[in-house]
Chain A
Amino acid sequence: MKADATLDCVGLYCPMPIYQTAKKLKELKLGQVLEVLADDEGIKEDMPAWCRTTGNELLGIEEEKGEYKAYVRKAEKGT
């Protein structure tokens, strides 16, 4: 999937990936896509939950060899 920016959270545990995501997404423009790399499995539940609460759009989570790539699109009502 094509992304406008990548955030490397490999090696970081909860809540750092969502904290970093929230911080990084502030730098992006509306409609831009952020790719988040993580190896904490919690991301599979946390990123959808974070997106539901903040109103940003989760485009998908890809899993490969214990690493995850989550794609988040910055939405207008997103915080």
Chain B
Amino acid sequence: MAEKVTLVIFSGEMDKAMAAFNIAIGAASMGMEVSMFFTFWGLNIIKKNEGPIKSRGMMRKMLNLMNRGGSRRLPLSRFHMLGLGKWMMGRLMREARFPSVDELIATAKEAGVKFIACTNTMGVMGLSKEAFIPEVDSFGGVAAYLAEAKEGRVNLFV
């Protein structure tokens, strides 16, 4: 049976997402079974880029307006500088032919990495399944994560 690797993606920043996808793709390339659990701010990475995020209630509407998310809207965890830092980093990465978050998502899926979105955070933030990209395989909670993690020796929190 293949070894299992799990990653909890709690953060919603571009650089952290890239590091996480790199590990996931690497593990899948080494024949491991990889699951990525997106929770809290990490859900921003797998939100659709297009269209509005629908939610009910004043506070949730405000939250989802300020915390729009989407793979192309992720800030840098350091030196974001209102987007200037991200623009510069993006340029350096393109020059180095480093894949974008979208490309990493596509490669991870091609390599067989499973994406699971946390239903708890979705409930708190008022997000429906429609807010997410179709690459998400399933929607689950902590038990879904732990059932995978207990069978893995590489379990990371990003």
Contacts and interface: CB of A to CB of B under 8 A. Distances in A.
Q: Chain B: interface residue count, which band?
A: 10 to 19
B99 A19 contact: no
B97 A54 contact: no
Interface in A1-26: 11-16, 18-19, 21-23
Interface residues of A, number: 15
A79 B22 contact: no
B30 A13 contact: no
Contacts, number: 39
B29 interface: yes
A14 B22 CA distance: 8
A50 B29 CA distance: 8
B133 interface: no
Contact of B107 (A14, A19, A53, A79): A19
A10 to B, nearest CB: 10
Contacts of B97: 11-13
A19 B26 contact: yes
B111 interface: yes
A19 B98 contact: no
B25 A19 contact: yes
A13 B98 contact: yes
A64 B107 CA distance: 30
B140 interface: no
16 contacts: A12-B97, A14-B22, A15-B23, A15-B26, A18-B26, A18-B29, A19-B25, A19-B29, A21-B29, A22-B28, A22-B30, A22-B31, A23-B29, A79-B2, A79-B30, A79-B31
Given A12-B97, A13-B96, A79-B2, 10 more contacts: A14-B22, A15-B22, A15-B29, A18-B30, A19-B29, A19-B107, A21-B29, A23-B29, A50-B29, A79-B31
The 7 closest A-B pairs by CB, nearest first: A79-B31, A15-B26, A22-B29, A19-B29, A53-B30, A18-B29, A15-B25
